[in-house]
Every structure is written in structure tokens, then in C-alpha cells.
Amino acid sequence: MLDLTGKNALVTGIANNRSIAWGIAQQLHKAGANLGITYLPDEKGKMQKKVADLVEPLSPSLFLPCNVQDDGQVESTFGVIADKWGKIDILIHCLAFAQREDLTGAFSQTSRSGFQTALEVSAYSLAQLAGAAKPLMGSGGSILTLSYLGSVRAIPNYNVMGVAKAGLEASVRYLAAELGPENIRVNAISAGPIRTLASSAVGGILDMIHHVEEIAPLRRTVTQLEVGNAATFLCSGLASGITGQVLYVDSGYEIMGM
């Protein structure tokens, strides 16, 4: 069993119990990591309560608001981490967003603002958070993000998010090159389609899942906990020689040609 006892792990992007970030958080906790959880704040505080209730069994030592479109909030989040933890060993980036209207129709009709928003939240935020975490990873660490096959293949109704994920995967490589001398590893998991709050914005998500179940070598899609297991491995010492990589956790679907 993987042992992350004594490791501080910050997990972003939990929205509900279907979130891939939730599966990752559960497996990191199971491996003994000390968790910090961030949530996207809203005016009525609904997200704060929803996420707080969900993660309570994991006993996170930090529970912080963090909107990556607000530089001040990102700075505040990592300021608290520095004060309370002193160091961070693992950063889990599970953040992506695109306007629903930019995920349908012709890609050439993507709005300028929609393109900017998708790239800012889904790709730029990885570099943003990695830069904030770097000073707190003095003895090395692991940064992990989530991608999807739409980064390298044209997927119906994925559109601008595919471009954002391509940018995200390129960011993984550049960050790995930058942070490697500091013994900080940066990787991504490209998970198969899972029914989550984020994927519900992609038209035909159930058709995509059923297609994977028919075509993938394992004849099924994957679960949040399976992605969590792979994430825990990549963040552990067992993966100490792995960085700058995109690991497909998709029941083998990515290898199929027809």
C-alpha cells in the first residue's frame, strides 16, 4: 500500500461526490496524506457548505476558498498554507471551465471571451498555482493535473476545451522542465469519460461513455477511485523518476484505431 504519511496535499476542484478530484482526495487520505481542500466560493455560500459536508470524513486540516480568476485569493490561499503548514508536498489541479455555448456548434464561432476564459481557468491556472506552490516545495514535491483525450483528438462537443487541455498538457511539459532541478515533478492524468458536473456540460457525454464501454480493451470506462489510485501513485515516491508525462487512465481506449 502506498504511504503518504507526513505529506501535505492540496486538492482543488472538488464540486460534489462525482468529481474526479473527490476520488483523488479519498485515495490520498487513505494513503495517509494530510489534506487541504479548496472550493470555489459563491455569494450565497452554497458551494462552501456542500464541499465542507462532503470532505468532512477526510478531516482536512485546511479548507480554503480559492477562485483562480482572483489573484488576491490565490495569494491568500498560499499565504495560509505557508503559515499553517510551512510546506506543501503535493498539489492536485482539477480545474476546468468553458462556457456551455462554446462547447457546441462550430469551433470557429468560439467567442473571444469564451476562448480566454477556457484557457485562463483550465490551463493558465496550473502555471499560476505551480508558481505559488514552488517556494513551499523546498524539499521537492509533486504536481498533478487532469486532462482528456480531446487534447490530441477532435472530440464532438469538446471544442474550445480541447484547445485548453492541449495547452494544459504543454504546460505540464514546460513546468516539468522548469521545476525538475528543484526535485518537483509535474504530470497529468488523461482520464476516460466520467459523468461529473463538469462533463455534464459536454453534449452527448452518456453516448461517449457507452462508446468507450463498447470499444475500450477493458470494455468499460473508469471510476473516480481508479483515477485516484493512479494519482496517488504519481504523487508517491514510487513514481520518483516520472515527470512531464500524461498517463492515460481510460481502460485502454486511447490505443484503439477503429
Catalytic machinery residues: 148, 158
Q: Which residue has the cell 462508446?
A: 211
C-alpha cell at 238: 514510487
Phi, psi angle pair for 255, to nearest 5°? -80, -15
Q: Name which of 247, 191, 251 is nearest 216 in CA terms.
A: 251
Q: Name which of 58, 57, 22 is nearest 39 in CA terms.
A: 22
Strand order in the sheet with 34-39: 62-65, 34-39, 8-11, 90-93, 141-147, 184-191, 246-249
CA distances from 35 to 56, 59, 83, 143 (A): 11, 8, 15, 14
C-alpha cell at 53: 459536508
